[in-house]
């Protein structure tokens, strides 16, 4: 109530001061590892969630969305349940604040997403943050190591990225292009956790232009073994096939035409028909 009562034509100095203090408290610290020491952090996360939800603050709250998203993602790695819970609630609120309320039944529809260019132009600080976090999370993925090791914030990262889609103006040299994220998303498809493999497949689709789907699918198929062997990694195979399926579905939905002739996909599948016998 105090913050929303500031005159609309003012510089919102009280809001800026409050947000800076709250975000500093909400960020993780090495000194906060117990339930009692994280009480200020939990309160800060909850207050931030209320402020991001308050429509009276309007566009004045947008400059602090990047910091809030970083606090939510990093807070999810906390060993304290209360911090993780508050971070999850804050993350959900920020998703709604950024992308709006869900429009239609299909949450993966473009109505509920925005281009990567628009997203990272509005929130430029999130580009290096999300890329660094995804690289670190993908580095922990083990396909068939016998141990399930899941990076705490991996699912949140994939969820954010699945809400983006490439702009036709994006190129490989674009400073805010989505291409640098693709290798790490593909690697997440090797996870020993089924839900992570599925989410990685969904997250990959928005990063591939319709015109690039055939070549991307062909490259993914080439990464699969042509015959069974002692080093066969079944989670890797399943994750790759999931990515192929989701990409082909999106191509059919968006292009409304069959795959171009000579794309190499049919031949790649024939060379790996042994997978169908498993």
Q: What are the pLDDT digits (tens) for 148-167? A: 567 888 989 999 998 887 77
Asked if 40 and 162 sit in the same domain, the reply is no
pLDDT in tens, 4-21: 656 565 667 888 889 999
Asked if 85 and 147 sit in the same domain, the reply is no
12 lies in which domain range?
1-102
Task: Tell whether 115 is covered by a domain.
Answer: no
Asked if 18 and 62 sit in the same domain, the reply is yes
Asked if 148 and 269 sit in the same domain, the reply is yes
Phi and psi angles of residue 258, each rounded to the nearest 5 degrees, phi first: -70, 165
Q: How many domains does the chain have?
A: 2
For the entire predicted model, the pTM comes to 0.84
Task: Tell whether 119 is covered by a domain.
Answer: no
Task: Tell whether 120 is covered by a domain.
Answer: no
Phi and psi angles of residue 68, each rounded to the nearest 5 degrees, phi first: -65, -40
Task: Tell whether 261 is covered by a domain.
Answer: yes
Q: How many whole angstroms separate alpha carbon 104 and alpha carbon 172?
A: 32
Asked if 21 and 73 sit in the same domain, the reply is yes
CB 207 within 8 A of CB 163: no
Asked if 53 and 144 sit in the same domain, the reply is no
Asked if 76 and 163 sit in the same domain, the reply is no
Taking residues 24-46, report their average pLDDT: 83
Q: How many whole angstroms separate alpha carbon 162 and alpha carbon 150?
A: 19
CB 177 within 8 A of CB 116: yes
Asked if 130 and 74 sit in the same domain, the reply is no
Task: Tell whether 116 is covered by a domain.
Answer: no
Asked if 96 and 182 sit in the same domain, the reply is no
Q: 173 pLDDT band (50/70/90 cuts)?
A: low
pLDDT in tens, 79-118: 899 999 999 999 999 999 999 877 666 666 667 788 888 8
Closest CA to 266 of 242, 240, 248: 248
CB 55 within 8 A of CB 3: no
Final residue of a structural domain among 87, 102, 117: 102
SS3 of the chain = CCCCCCCCCCCCHHHHHHHHHHHHHHCCCCCCCCCCCCHHHHHHHHHHHHHHHCHHHHHHHHHHHHHHHHHHHHHCCCCCHHHHHHHHHHHHHHHHHHHCCCCCCCCCCHHHCEEHHHHHHHCCCHHHHHHHHHHHHHCCCCCCCCCCCCCCCHHHHHHHHCCEECCCCCCCCCCCCCHHHHHHHHHHCCCCCHHHHHHHHHHHHHHCCHHHHHHHHHHHHHCCCCCCCCCCCHHHHHHHHHHHHHHHHHHHHHHCCCCCCCCCHHHHHHCCHHHHHC
Task: Tell whether 117 is covered by a domain.
Answer: no
Asked if 158 and 26 sit in the same domain, the reply is no
Note the pLDDT of residue 13: 80
Region label for 193, one of left (φ > 0), alpha (ψ between -120 and 50) or beta (otherwise):
beta
Asked if 67 and 188 sit in the same domain, the reply is no
More confident residue, 267 or 74: 74
Asked if 258 and 177 sit in the same domain, the reply is yes
Q: What integer best gives the mean pLDDT of the chain?
A: 84
Residues 44-66 as b or e (16 or more Cβ within 10 Å = b): bbbbbbebbeeeebeebbeebbb
Task: Tell whether 154 is covered by a domain.
Answer: yes
Closest CA to 245 of 192, 193, 189, 191: 189
């Amino acid at each position: 109530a105090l913050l929303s009562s500031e005159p609309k034509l003012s510089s919102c100095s009280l809001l800026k001061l409050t947000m800076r203090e709250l975000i500093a408290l909400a960020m993780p610290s090495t000194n906060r590892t117990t339930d009692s020491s994280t009480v200020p952090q939990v309160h800060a996360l909850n207050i931030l969630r209320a402020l991001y939800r308050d429509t009276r603050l309007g566009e004045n709250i947008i400059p602090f969305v990047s910091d809030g998203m970083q606090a939510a993602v990093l807070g999810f790695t906390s060993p304290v349940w209360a911090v993780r819970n508050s971070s999850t609630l804050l993350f959900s609120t920020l998703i709604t604040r950024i992308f709006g309320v869900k429009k239609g039944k299909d949450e993966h529809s473009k109505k509920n997403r925005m281009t990567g260019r628009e997203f990272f132009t509005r929130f430029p600080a999130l580009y290096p943050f999300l890329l660094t976090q995804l690289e670190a999370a993908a580095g922990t993925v083990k396909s068939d190591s016998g141990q399930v090791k899941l990076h705490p914030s991996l699912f949140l990262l994939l969820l954010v990225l699945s809400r983006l889609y490439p702009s036709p103006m994006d190129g490989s040299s674009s400073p805010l292009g989505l291409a640098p994220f693709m290798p790490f998303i593909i690697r997440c498809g090797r996870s020993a956790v089924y839900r992570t493999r599925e989410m990685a497949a969904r997250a990959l689709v928005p990063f591939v232009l319709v015109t690039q789907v055939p070549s991307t699918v062909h490259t993914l198929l080439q990464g699969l073994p042509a015959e069974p062997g002692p080093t066969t990694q079944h989670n890797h195979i399943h994750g790759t096939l999931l990515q192929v399926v989701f990409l082909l579905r999106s191509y059919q939905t968006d292009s409304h035409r069959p795959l171009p002739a000579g794309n190499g996909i049919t031949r790649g599948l024939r060379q790996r028909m042994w997978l169908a016998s498993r």
